[in-house]
Amino acid sequence: MSVRINPSILSADFVNLERDLGVISSADFAHIDVMDNHFVPNLTFGPQMVGRLQDVSPIPLDVHLMIENPERWAPTYAELGAFSVTFHAESTTDPVALARRLRAIGARAGLAIKPGTDIEPYLDLLPEFDQILVMTVEPGFGGQSFIADVMPKLDALAAANTRLGLDVWLQVDGGITLDTIVIAAEHGANTFVAGSSVYNAPDRDQAILELRHAATSASVHRH
Ligand SMILES: O=C(CO)[C@H](O)[C@H](O)COP(=O)(O)O
Ligand SMILES: [Fe+2]
């Protein structure tokens, strides 16, 4: 059972992003939080910046779009070469159509859901996606506390993967630490975004290694 550790550069130094991408090269993907100050009450960066991050990153980019009207912008990130592009169910009218456009460009397609959004309507759509991002905080800011109440959504997604014979990656994002990563892995998560717990650690490689070990042990224990 392989797990993926995706540090979020939301907790990096925004005037030293090339340097701060370089210190997470032992991770699987760099998680890039795009916020538009409309879908969430915070603003980060757009395609121009992400294109340059793509140029200099030692690892592939996992782009998380917290924006309104993702139909307008998500394909642009796929064209820039992002490995995966994840948009929110709450700001999309036709998630399947958008996922198909992203896949046609060559990116993996991800669907994200906020803590208050029900997963049930999306379970039958799993074949259309490569990953589902279950938010474990309200989107918008790093450094918040993990919301364990959303774990039943992971249980439902893991069961749907089994029922449909799929391996759609199950991603969690928000408040992931050495303790909470175990809880999420026990509920079937296999792709873990960690911002502050990686970037605030004195040794980023060590933090990534410890998160990976904790998640792997919990996954093995689960199966
Ligand atoms: O999408 C996000 C916030 O909306 C970030 O990816 C997430 O919060 C990571 O930060 P942390 O690990 O510090 O919670
Ligand atoms: Fe994120």
Please tell me whether the overall predicted TM-score, pTM, comes out greater than 0.90 for this model.
yes
Which is the closest atom of ligand 1 to the Cα of 40? 4
Please choose, from the candidates 79, 44, 43, 73, the residue with its C-alpha nearest in 3D space to the C-alpha of residue 61. 79
165 annotated to bind ligand? no
Ligand 1 atom having least distance to the Cα of 135: 1
Domain ranges in the chain?
A: 4-222
Question: If you measure from the C-alpha of residue 105 to the centroid of ligand 2, how many angstroms do you get, rounded to a whole number?
Answer: 22
Active site residue 173: yes
Cα separations (Å) of 193 from 61, 82, 214?
12, 16, 14
* Catalytic hit among 33, 36, 62, 130: 33
Residue 223 clears pLDDT 80, i.e. is over it? no
User: Sorting pLDDT into bands at 50, 70 and 90, what band is 12?
Assistant: very high
The alpha carbon of 64 and the centre of ligand 2 are apart by a number of angstroms equal to: 5
Tell the CATH superfamily of the 4-222 domain: Aldolase class I (3.20.20.70)
Q: Give the pLDDT confidence of 44-100 residue by residue, as tens digits.
A: 999 999 999 999 999 999 999 999 999 999 999 999 999 999 999 999 999 999 999
